[in-house]
Structure 1
């Protein structure tokens, strides 16, 4: 619902090119939501191969940022135009220069990732390329209901994102898998 909430604040068009930084649950959901809204040109950038495979299964072009320079990959993907919308879904300050430099002149940056530490930001690319920066936090009741409807209609899948289900008594094991990045999303059952 948080991905949906942020993306619904934007005027996405089917002809837009969308690049998502982050192969966690928020980025993976965002890749599906933009496709559900008719966008065909979607790239997801991350560095966990098993998560990138999931994104590819959703129809995104994927880039492993440990093997390819993300900005160069976006330039190739867009024939040098760069992306109309870049979604930051990592919450990692070190990604921001690549996010800003991957955005087309006059494009939009959507900040969905939660930054737990102060993130210094160079405003030069924002000014030079006349970028629009939009922040989004959590979701609304309406976004939650709309997300459930997308799920019900099969526009968004969770089967490959929810990788583990544990009884509540095994919360320690579940947290350890998440910490080691071996799970994407975990459900705990009472």
Structure 2
């Protein structure tokens, strides 16, 4: 019995060892796309709630806006965003999107079709949550990717691009979070970045 506790501790420590790929914050040209994708999912943020500030840039070709917003999130349940002085507020759940814009006296309460139309691509709660937490908007484990190095990050491009959509992902070597995600529709001349 006196050896049971040390044995349990040793088994626990061995079974809980980290398997994350660490590159010290610099690009390792020897890593494969599969290794980078694996590290990306191993470094997924494990949180219940999250609070912070986010800078959002939007351009529709005619106008562009940059705004910093306060962000609160309860994983898989709700996202709250608020611009300074409460000028714009948004509340997003897996079922609905609602926002209020004091400047233009606009209010919306409905499903994700409004955001999908605004962004030019299908959007749901998990895609939005992934965007805000640095995770890929699609499951990278489902495809095959070529890897390159661009702007001191890993550049992942699908071996076979979709006819309607072109995708590009850049992954930070320091934490394996998304540095850039780009979904473009060349025929429609739309880019979500």
TM-score (norm 1): 0.26
TM-score (norm 2): 0.26
- The answer to which structure has the higher strand fraction is 2
- The answer to which structure has the higher helix fraction is 1
Higher Cα radius of gyration = 2
